Amino acid sequence: MAGVSLKCGDCGALLRTVEEAQEHAELTSHSNFSESTEPVLNLVCTACSKPCRSKTESDLHTKRTGHTEFVDKTSETVKPISLEAPKVDAAASSENPSGAASTDQNEEMVVPEVDKKLLEELESMGFSTTRATRALHYSGNAGLEAAVNWIVEHENDSDIDQMPLVPANSKIEAPKPSLTPEELKAKQHELRERARKKKEEEEKRAEREREKERIRIGKELLEAKRIEEDNERKRLLALRKAEKEEEKRAREKIKQKLEEDKAERRRRLGLPPDEPSAAKPSPAPVVEEKKSFVPVRPATKAEQMRECLRSLKQNHKEDDARVKRAFQTLLTYIGNVARNPDEEKFRKIRLSNQSFQDRVGSLKGGIEFLEICGFEKMDGGEFLFLGRDKVDMAILNSAGSELDSAIKNPFFGVL
- Asked whether residue 296 is assigned to any structural domain, the reply reads no
Boundary-marking domain end, from 245, 269, 293: 269
pLDDT of res. 332: 93
pLDDT of res. 103: 45
Does pLDDT of 88 surpass 80? no
For residues 205 and 238, state if they share a domain.
yes
- Asked whether residue 326 is assigned to any structural domain, the reply reads yes
For residues 226 and 325, state if they share a domain.
no
* Domain of residue 385, CATH code: 1.20.58.2190
pLDDT of res. 415: 56
Does pLDDT of 90 surpass 70? no
pLDDT of res. 410: 78
Nearest to 129 by CA among 165, 161, 156, 153: 161
Beta bridge partners of 25: none
For residues 149 and 192, state if they share a domain.
no
Mean pLDDT of 7-20: 76
Query: What is the number of other CB atoms lying within 10 angstroms of the CB of residue 150?
Result: 22
Of residues 36 and 59, more confidence is placed in: 59
250/257 Cα distance (integer angstroms): 10
pLDDT of res. 234: 93
For residues 306 and 387, state if they share a domain.
yes
For residues 361 and 325, state if they share a domain.
yes
For residues 203 and 159, state if they share a domain.
no
- Asked whether residue 386 is assigned to any structural domain, the reply reads yes
For residues 186 and 247, state if they share a domain.
yes
Boundary-marking domain end, from 16, 50, 76: 76
Look at residue 57 and give its three-state secondary structure. Answer: helix
- Asked whether residue 205 is assigned to any structural domain, the reply reads yes
Is 234:242 a contact under the CB 8 Å cutoff? no
* Domain of residue 119, CATH code: 1.10.8.10
Confidence of residue 214 (pLDDT cuts 50, 70, 90): very high
291/312 Cα distance (integer angstroms): 25
Q: Give per-residue pLDDT as tens, 310-336.
A: 888 888 878 888 888 998 999 999 999
Q: At what angle do helices 144-153 and 129-138 cross, to 10 degrees?
A: 110
- Asked whether residue 174 is assigned to any structural domain, the reply reads no
Instruction: List all residues 6 or more positions away from 288 whose beta carbon is below 8 Å from its beta carbon.
Output: none
For residues 137 and 204, state if they share a domain.
no
Number of domains composing the chain: 4
Host domain of residue 9: 5-76
- Asked whether residue 276 is assigned to any structural domain, the reply reads no
CA 356, chain centre distance (Å): 46
Mean pLDDT of 7-33: 77
Pairing status of strand 5-8 against strand 14-15: antiparallel
Segment 28-33 long-range contacts (CB within 8 Å, at least 24 positions apart)? 32/8, 33/6, 33/7, 33/8, 33/9
Mean pLDDT of 337-352: 90
For residues 140 and 45, state if they share a domain.
no
Provide the percentage of residues in the chain whose pLDDT is more than 90: 19
DSSP per-residue codes, 331-392: HHHHHHHHH-TT-GGGSEEETT-HHHIIIIITSTTHHHHHHHTT-EEETTTTEEE--GGG--
- Asked whether residue 243 is assigned to any structural domain, the reply reads yes
197: enclosing H helix or E strand: helix 181-269
Does pLDDT of 185 surpass 50? yes
Q: Give per-residue pLDDT as tens, 294-312.
A: 444 456 888 888 889 888 8
Confidence of residue 206 (pLDDT cuts 50, 70, 90): very high
**270: region left, alpha or beta (phi > 0 left; psi from -120 to 50 alpha):** left
* Confidence (pTM): 0.32
For residues 392 and 329, state if they share a domain.
yes
Instruction: List all residues 6 or more positions away from 140 whose beta carbon is below 8 Å from its beta carbon.
Output: 146, 175
Boundary-marking domain end, from 122, 142, 166: 166
For residues 69 and 115, state if they share a domain.
no
- Asked whether residue 60 is assigned to any structural domain, the reply reads yes
For residues 238 and 318, state if they share a domain.
no
Query: What is the number of other CB atoms lying within 10 angstroms of the CB of residue 349?
Result: 18
349/386 Cα distance (integer angstroms): 9
Q: Give per-residue pLDDT as tens, 364-387.
A: 888 999 999 999 988 888 899 998
Mean pLDDT of 122-137: 88
Kindly report the average pLDDT of the chain as a whole number: 79
Mean pLDDT of 76-94: 44
Confidence of residue 414 (pLDDT cuts 50, 70, 90): low
298/77 Cα distance (integer angstroms): 104
Query: What is the number of other CB atoms lying within 10 angstroms of the CB of residue 175?
Result: 13
Mean pLDDT of 235-259: 91
Provide the percentage of residues in the chain whose pLDDT is more than 70: 81
